[in-house]
Amino acid sequence: MTAPVTDARLAAQFAFLNTADRLKAVNRANVLMDNSRAENSAEHSWHLALWALVMPLPDGVDRDRVIAMLLLHDLVEIDTGDQPIDLPHDPTALARAEQVAAQRLFGLLPLDQGERLLALWQEFEAAQTPEAQAAKRLDYSQPLFQVLCAAPPRPDHLEVVRMNLTRGRAAPMAETWPAIHARALALLEGRAPPQDADLAARLAFLAEADRLKSVDRATTLVDGSRRENSGEHSWHLALYALILGEQAAAGVDLARVIRMLLIHDLVEIDVGDVPIHSAHGAAHGSEATMAAEARAADRIFGLLPHPLQHDLRALWEEFEATQTADAIFAKSLDRVQPVMANLMSGGGTWITYDVTFAQLESRVGAKVARGAPHLWSWVRQQTLDFFTDAPA
């Protein structure tokens, strides 16, 4: 039986989601493919979930459970930090610290939900089920191509890839995923990779997606320290769907919502972020912006092989049209997450763009309430003290 949705339950869920925002400040040893900065664990988790959406998985594996695992898998790094595979560490001590972190973080959630997600995280760590093994395989693969597709790859990182492929945790993929292992090894050694147009197309799309991590949004992190990027935003939104799914109308397919949110902002690689509250806010839904986004969708989804190219493009179009129940709920989450960032950061873009409460209601509230009326009722109440024109 579904737990009743109460204000206390929502408060606990947002405590978790706001704490999860800190994963955006955990830097990894990997760098972005343009070598501009270190990759953080939140955008890495988004990229991995995208890998799970795009890459072939073994027969019988539940793709959406794999995606859910990967959205959660690195949350413990909020407390423990990233552990580069080439540096010595005590595996037993690290496992113990991560278990403590998992219990603390998932313990912020309502008990039933926290126990369920803790069990999913533990399943990933144990790597015994087909879904967990598939998730681990992706987690071992993405960092290889994060290095090999860089422009240019860093020599020290190439040495880590060499170690990983030959005697590290990626070495068994020579048996468990020979196509990806052979391709990585060929790229490492400067040889032409095996002919595999389908795999090459998927990897080209995933490499292009890395650029979303460099698209800055108007919204800041919840601590106000910097602007959020669209890659980590997409991860946070998918996590929102995982946590707040009970706010959706009957019949909403949460797995499809999560898939939508993983890809919904990919067009910003070409178009950039168009802030809804900016002086040019009308451009957010203008014909010119929509046309530019359609061209971007043509190019970016066009990198994929058929029929995946068609399927993901159609999913993106469904989100943009916002007519189906799944898309309406996805759009509600897309609108509410920046509200929470503004609340936590002391006003954020509301101050930057001199937003009124009436504008918040029309630009944001109406869209949130359309797909999640109780959610907007609760969030709206939290915003009242920030606006002089809010009703008493």
Tens of each residue's pLDDT in the chain, 392 residues: 344 567 999 999 999 999 999 999 999 999 999 999 999 999 999 999 999 999 999 999 999 999 999 999 999 999 999 998 888 889 999 999 999 999 999 999 999 999 999 999 999 999 999 999 999 999 999 999 999 999 999 999 999 999 999 999 999 999 999 999 999 999 999 999 999 999 999 999 999 999 999 999 999 999 999 999 999 999 999 999 999 999 999 999 999 999 999 999 999 999 999 888 865 544 667 888 999 999 999 999 999 999 999 999 999 999 999 999 999 999 999 999 999 999 999 999 999 999 999 999 999 999 999 999 999 999 999 999 999 999 97
Asked if 337 and 276 touch (Cβ cutoff 8 Å), the reply is no
One-letter-per-residue 3-state SS of the chain:
CCCCCCHHHHHHHHHHHHHHHHHHHCEEEEECCCCCCEEEHHHHHHHHHHHHHHCCCCCCCCHHHHHHHHHHCCCCHHHHCCCCCCCCCCHHHHHHHHHHHHHHHHCCCCHHHHHHHHHHHHHHHHCCCHHHHHHHHHHHHHHHHHHHCCCCCCHHHHHHHHHHHHHCCCCCHHHHCHHHHHHHHHHHCCCCCCCCHHHHHHHHHHHHHHHHHHCEEEEECCCCCCEEEHHHHHHHHHHHHHHHHHHCCCCCCHHHHHHHHHHCCCCHHHHCCCCCCCCCHHHHHCHHHHHHHHHHHHHHHCCCCCCHHHHHHHHHHHHHHCCCHHHHHHHHHHHHHHHHHHHHCCCCHHHHCCCCHHHHHHHHHHHHHHHCHHHHHHHHHHHHHHCCCCCC
Q: Can you give the pLDDT at residue 221?
A: 98
State the architecture of 25-211 in CATH terms.
Orthogonal Bundle (1.10)
State the architecture of 224-386 in CATH terms.
Orthogonal Bundle (1.10)
Q: Can you give the pLDDT at residue 110?
A: 98
Asked if 214 and 36 touch (Cβ cutoff 8 Å), the reply is yes
pLDDT tens-digit profile of 95-130?
A: 999 999 999 999 999 999 999 999 999 999 999 999
Q: Can you give the pLDDT at residue 150?
A: 96
Q: Can you give the pLDDT at residue 392?
A: 76
Q: What is the pTM of this model?
A: 0.96
The segment(s) of the chain belonging to CATH 1.10.3210.10 are 25-211, 224-386
Q: Can you give the pLDDT at residue 283?
A: 65
pLDDT tens-digit profile of 223-266?
A: 999 999 999 999 999 999 999 999 999 999 999 999 999 999 99
Q: Can you give the pLDDT at residue 275?
A: 87
Rounded CA-CA distance 326/260 in Å is 9
